[in-house]
Amino acid sequence: MGESAPMTALPRPLILGSTSRYRRELLERLRLPFETAAPDVDETPRPGETPETLASRLALAKARAVAARFPRALVIGSDQVADLDGQPLGKPGTHDRAVEQLRAMRGRTVVFHTALAVVCAETGFEAEDLAPVRVRFRDLDDADIERYLRAEQPYDCAGSAKAEGLGIALLDAIESDDPTALIGLPLIRTVALLRRGGVDVLNRLPGIAR
Quick check: is 79 catalytic?
Answer: yes
- Between helices 21-28 and 187-196, what is the axis angle to 10°? 70
Q: Which residues contact 55 (CB under 8 A, 6 or more apart)?
A: 79, 80, 81, 113, 114, 115, 130
Beta-strand relationship, 109-120 and 74-84 = antiparallel
Give the Cα separation of 43 and 152 in Å (integer): 25
Give the Cα separation of 40 and 100 in Å (integer): 28
| Active-site annotation holder among 40, 42, 79, 139 | 79
If we measure between CA atoms, which residue out of 148, 54, 60 comes closest to residue 106? Answer: 148
As annotated, the active-site residues are: 79
